[in-house]
Chain A
């Protein structure tokens, strides 16, 4: 049970960094003379501030310099004067007089506030505790460096670095507030663009449903980075589209900044660079060479620090790409090929035209892990209604988004990898909904009924999770144990082991002691199965300082654990099984056992 003081510390660790990032963005937006106002300006400030702050934290932590909350609090206060830039003018303010959009916006604000606070709840998202938070903990305990046996530390981690202040303050649960910030930013951008393309009511509703959609709820409360990639990518493509429609050079600057931040957050977002370039070259208003090249140089400058970091820690500045030229760093060609295959195939979809349509249907109705039902019904129900003869910029945008959606389906079908595309589905749904609602009473009633039904279902699902997370703010351990019981049990076993403790596939690295994750996808260097010789595995683990292993075993009194390598060690006396009359459950008929290496 957390005390009031502990809750205050949690709230400070979750709120202060967010306000500091926003303050940086407020000043950057002023320097860039961004014209946006209101929530849209705040969203853009968030993107600019987080992108810049991430690069600053990269520099600070590379030099092993601290990122204390006190300094961030001062930074947050310094942003206050620039807040007035967000105010609307009197004429803009009069557009907000309509009752329905105002009421919907008020509901959105309530949902946003609940989402933000619930993001302080205990971290139970698998990826967050498997590698995002452990990596940031390692880079908080020491400088940013290569971490042998932690492959994820060699990929881009621009958004991960935003978790550093919360983790450094000893409040890792508060790191999720950064993801909530990105979720709110996406909703604000969707709202603003939908207002431009449809109506004020459609914009406000699109913003609200962007918050309520299951994908946002799953990601916005977790210390993961997909919403960050989604927000940067969406803003970049929107800015490129605005260049096509308006021809203002600041749009190219914003696109370049957001593209750089997206690529820093996750390497696969670099695919948006050629897409944005194609958008401005083919969208009917090809930019003059000089401003285009200068924005390309700006983008290159933003992504260079991560090339330098990766070059220093792996020897390959574009790791894990071009291994044949620059080397495979801490990994091997075979293992990296397995990792590529894993990303492509761990979501089972049939790569065919019918398979593509089944995949799309699964996003709304399905039962496929990492895909199903995450979008809710509105994109499928309303987005097709938006189709009309589009102007050239919109046609090019739609064509490029279709190419991206196809690439995602073929190579990375988990929905989170398509995060930059999802806000466009909301935008299309807003336009489609506005067209039907504008067609007469029957159309308006149909749209209203669909919104009420889907909103009620979304809210019921969300409210249950929100309530549980809010209760868990005071009592986190019961919530964590209920969400990931096998991991809670494993933590007890790891606590008894001699560090470094090796943990098996199916375990998360967020543990009370230093651990070595035996999952090849996480360690990047060891297939801990029949493919590896037991002597080679033992030598590598000793090199990594491993003294004990926590491993899943069948329930019972067997002197073996049922793992080819560990059983070989036990038979030869290289390891011993620690006696435990009542080993904790690892799920179903399995238990966690502790093995000590000799």
Chain B
């Protein structure tokens, strides 16, 4: 049935512009979440 794949594979870190975009995305989502928790109607 073939050789097993390695089980534990550390995920590749984000680098360069991808890291910057990821930080902005994360901050944006969490900020919107906080706003929604405070009552701002983000989406129905």
Which A residues lie at the B interface, using CB under 8 A? 195-199, 245-248, 284-285, 287-288, 358, 361-362, 364-368, 373, 376-377, 380-382, 384-386, 388, 391, 393, 431-432, 434-436, 438-440, 442-443, 446-447, 449-450, 453-454, 457
Contact = CB atoms under 8 A, between A and B. Distances in A.
Contact of A287 (B1, B4, B11, B26): B1
B42 A440 contact: no
A386 B13 CA distance: 10
Contacts of A393: 5
A453 B27 CA distance: 11
A431 B43 contact: no
Nearest to A382: B26
Contact of B30 (A195, A248, A432, A453): A453
Contact of B11 (A245, A373, A386): A386
Interface string B1-24: 111110111111111000100110
Q: Is the interface of A mostly helix, strand, loop or mixed?
A: helix
B5 A377 contact: no
B9 to A, nearest CB: 7
Contacts of A391: 5
B7, B10, B41, B43 pick with most chain A CB within 10 angstroms: B43
16 contacts: A196-B8, A197-B11, A246-B7, A288-B1, A377-B29, A377-B30, A382-B26, A385-B26, A435-B22, A436-B13, A436-B23, A439-B13, A439-B15, A447-B26, A454-B30, A457-B37
A247 B11 contact: no
A367 B44 contact: yes
Q: Is the interface of B mostly helix, strand, loop or mixed?
A: loop
A334 B19 CA distance: 55
B11 to A, nearest CB: 5
A438 B14 CA distance: 7
A271 B2 CA distance: 29
Contacts of A385: 14, 22, 25-26
Contacts of A450: 26-27, 30
Nearest to B30: A450
A450 B10 CA distance: 21
Contacts of B15: 439
Contact of B42 (A198, A365, A446): A365
A438 B11 contact: yes
B4 A247 contact: yes
A245 B26 contact: no
A126 to B, nearest CB: 22
Contacts of A440: 13, 19
Contacts of B29: 364, 377, 380-381
A361 B42 contact: yes
A166 B19 CA distance: 51
Nearest to B6: A245
B4 A246 contact: yes
B5 A366 contact: no
B11 A431 contact: yes
Contact of A365 (B2, B11, B27, B33): B33
Contacts of B33: 364-365, 376-377, 381, 454, 457
A391 B23 CA distance: 25
Contacts of A438: 10-11, 13-14
A436 B15 CA distance: 9
A505 B25 CA distance: 45
B41 A367 contact: yes
Nearest to B24: A446
List 5 tightest A-B contacts by C-beta distance, closest first. A377-B33, A438-B13, A365-B42, A381-B29, A247-B1
A443 B23 contact: yes
Given A287-B1, A442-B19, A457-B34, A435 B11 contact: yes
B2, B11, B25, B34 pick with most chain A CB within 10 angstroms: B11
Contacts of B1: 247, 285, 287-288
A283 B8 CA distance: 18
Given A285-B1, A288-B1, A365 B43 contact: yes
A116 B28 CA distance: 34
B19 A436 contact: yes
B30 A381 contact: yes
A436 B2 contact: no
Contacts of A364: 29, 32-33, 36
B22 to A, nearest CB: 5
A516 B34 CA distance: 44
B36 A365 contact: yes
Given A246-B7, A247-B3, A443-B13, 15 more contacts: A245-B5, A247-B1, A361-B43, A366-B42, A373-B36, A373-B37, A377-B30, A385-B26, A388-B11, A388-B12, A436-B13, A436-B14, A438-B14, A442-B23, A457-B37
A245 B7 contact: yes
A543 to B, nearest CB: 44
B31 to A, nearest CB: 9
Nearest to B23: A446
Nearest to B33: A377
A139 B43 CA distance: 43
A229 to B, nearest CB: 27
Contacts of A365: 32-33, 36, 42-43
Nearest to B28: A381
A440 B10 CA distance: 15
A334 to B, nearest CB: 31
Nearest to B13: A438
A450 B30 CA distance: 6
A407 to B, nearest CB: 22
A197, A376, A436, A442 pick with most chain B CB within 10 angstroms: A436
Contacts of B7: 196, 245-246
Contacts of B14: 385, 435-436, 438-439, 443
A496 B36 CA distance: 45
